[in-house]
């Protein structure tokens, strides 16, 4: 694999973009660390699937998107929502079940939406939104629009029929859709080797006639560059692209805790991946290349912290939905 940290491309990369990606990654991390801090209060009464360790992928991919581009996501969606520009106050309020939540308290962490950012939805049925992203792309084609549609999903979605069916259809119709597979090796507690044969995931997409690339999902610059090329390919009318990014989930499948005690993965494996922490990696790069100073990075953390505290206040102070709203919106008028 090409080392993007040493490639000449990096030098040309706009420093502002790198700082922006870093800010988004810190925002995702700090947002979820706040969930970890407050979850035991038992006020966030819904499942949470934290993406700590994955941040480079949503941040790196979405930095390439325009506002008009649309994103669909899965159960591990906080990062995608934030990176596409979703309102964190309304996301946190949603996790708290408040009427000010992005889904008015009907969705919880697993059903996020921010139409103003064109984050069209996340849902937790594995593979469930992949065809929706292709459908949004088909609509764009029918309406002569130029936007792309992005589907984020995990490695387990490769085991679902919807993925294969959608790849077949998207390839057939050359749809403007980007498939982004975050391979973190585990589906809940089951390793990919227990679930899939020893074949590369990108070969599945290639088998459907789709261009596919594999990259280091903990290397934000590599994610950014790979997605940039993919989106240019799609926007030139060449049809879909499939990207697989290798990454690792630092926390348990669902919930705020570490889970080494469960024994399904080793302490050594976790440590090995912790060394590859995507935020530290990009932070060091920014310092080494003198793109940012320590003080500047600390300021990013500080400002992010304030932003998150404001979201916490907003979420906690917001009202719950009223009883008489329960039967509203079963049907659309």
Partner 1 sequence: MTKLREITYAEAIAEAISQSMEKDPSVFIIGEGVPDPKAIFGTTKGLVEKYGSDRVLDMPVSENALTGVCIGTALRGMRPIMVHQRLDFVLLAMDQIVNNSAKWHYMFGGQTSVPFVVRAVIGMGWGQGAQHSQNIQAIFTHIPGLKVVMPATPYDAKGLLISSIQDNNPVIFIEHRWLHHIRGHVPTEMYNVPIGKAEIIKDGKDITIASTSYMTIEALNATKVLEEAGVSAEIIDIRTLKPLDDSMIIDSVKKTGRLLAVDSGYYTGGFAGEIIARISEKAFEYLKVPPQRITLPDIPSPSTPALTKYYYPRHIDIIQKVCQMTGKPTSQITHLIELERKKEPQHLDVPNKEFTGPF
Cα-Cα end-to-end distance for the chain: 53
Instruction: Return d(Cα 264, Cα 259) in angstroms, integer.
Output: 9
Residue 103 in contact with partner 1, rule: CB under 8 A: yes
Instruction: Return d(Cα 28, Cα 40) in angstroms, integer.
Output: 20
Instruction: Return d(Cα 203, Cα 301) in angstroms, integer.
Output: 39
Give which of 33, 54, 52 is closest to 309, Cα–Cα: 33
* In contact, 99 and 320? CB cutoff 8 Å: yes
Q: Which is nearer to partner 1, 26 or 137 (CB)?
A: 137
Residue 133 neighbours by CB distance under 10 Å = 29
Q: Which is nearer to partner 1, 94 or 244 (CB)?
A: 94
Q: Could you say which of 60, 97, 107, 240 contacts partner 1 (CB under 8 A)?
A: 107
Q: Which is nearer to partner 1, 77 or 166 (CB)?
A: 166
Site string for partner 1, 61-100 (x = CB under 8 A): ---------x-x----------------------------
Give which of 236, 233, 201 is closest to 217, Cα–Cα: 201
DSSP 13: S
Rounded least distance, CB 279 to partner 1, Å: 30
Residue 323 in contact with partner 1, rule: CB under 8 A: no
Rounded least distance, CB 236 to partner 1, Å: 20
Pick the piece of the chain touching partner 1 (CB under 8 A) from 53-61, 75-83, 104-112, 265-273. 104-112
Residue 240 in contact with partner 1, rule: CB under 8 A: no
Residue 162 in contact with partner 1, rule: CB under 8 A: yes
* In contact, 280 and 294? CB cutoff 8 Å: no
Crossing angle, helix 15-38 and helix 88-95, to 10 degrees?
A: 20
Give which of 162, 178, 163 is closest to 211, Cα–Cα: 178
Crossing angle, helix 88-95 and helix 294-317, to 10 degrees?
A: 50
Q: Which is nearer to partner 1, 121 or 246 (CB)?
A: 121
Residue 120 in contact with partner 1, rule: CB under 8 A: yes
Pick the piece of the chain touching partner 1 (CB under 8 A) from 13-21, 167-175, 226-234, 261-269. 167-175
Structure tokens at 6: 């040493």
Residue 169 in contact with partner 1, rule: CB under 8 A: yes
Q: Which is nearer to partner 1, 171 or 219 (CB)?
A: 171
Structure tokens at 301: 């953390």
Q: Which is nearer to partner 1, 153 or 248 (CB)?
A: 153
Residue 131 in contact with partner 1, rule: CB under 8 A: yes
Residue 46 in contact with partner 1, rule: CB under 8 A: no
- In 3-state terms, what secondary structure has residue 134? helix
- Binding footprint of partner 1 on the chain (CB under 8 A): 70, 72, 101-107, 111, 113, 115, 120-121, 123, 125, 128-140, 142-143, 149, 161-162, 165-166, 168-169, 172, 328-333
């Amino acid at each position: 694999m090409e080392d993007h940290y040493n490639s000449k491309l990096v030098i040309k990369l706009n420093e502002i973009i790198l700082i922006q990606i870093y800010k988004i990654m810190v925002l995702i991390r700090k947002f979820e660390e706040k969930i970890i801090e407050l979850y035991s209060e038992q006020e966030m009464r819904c499942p949470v699937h934290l993406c700590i360790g994955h941040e480079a992928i949503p941040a790196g991919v979405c930095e390439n998107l325009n506002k008009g581009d649309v994103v669909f996501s899965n159960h591990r969606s906080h990062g995608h929502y934030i990176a596409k520009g979703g309102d964190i106050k309304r996301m946190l309020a949603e996790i708290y079940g408040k009427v000010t939540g992005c889904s008015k308290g009907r969705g919880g962490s697993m059903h996020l939406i921010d139409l103003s950012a064109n984050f069209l939805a996340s849902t937790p049925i594995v593979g469930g939104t992949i065809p929706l992203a292709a459908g949004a792309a088909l609509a764009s084609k029918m309406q002569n629009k130029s936007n792309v549609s992005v589907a984020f999903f995990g490695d387990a979605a490769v085991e679902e029929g919807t993925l294969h069916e959608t790849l077949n259809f998207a390839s057939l119709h050359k749809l403007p859709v980007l498939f982004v597979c975050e391979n973190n090796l585990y589906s809940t507690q089951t390793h990919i080797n227990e679930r899939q044969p020893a074949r590369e995931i990108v070969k599945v997409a290639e088998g459907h006639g789709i261009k596919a690339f594999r990259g280091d999902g903990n290397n934000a610059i590599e994610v950014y560059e790979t997605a940039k090329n993919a989106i240019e390919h799609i926007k030139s009318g060449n049809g879909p692209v499939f990207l697989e990014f290798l990454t690792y989930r630092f926390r348990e499948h669902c919930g705020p805790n570490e889970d080494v005690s469960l024994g399904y993965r080793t302490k050594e494996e976790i440590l090995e991946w912790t060394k590859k922490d995507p935020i530290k990696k990009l932070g060091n790069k920014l310092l080494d290349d003198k793109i940012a100073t320590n003080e500047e990075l600390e300021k990013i953390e500080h400002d992010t912290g304030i932003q998150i505290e404001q979201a916490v206040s907003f979420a906690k102070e917001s009202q719950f939905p009223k009883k008489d709203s329960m039967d509203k919106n079963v049907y659309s008028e």
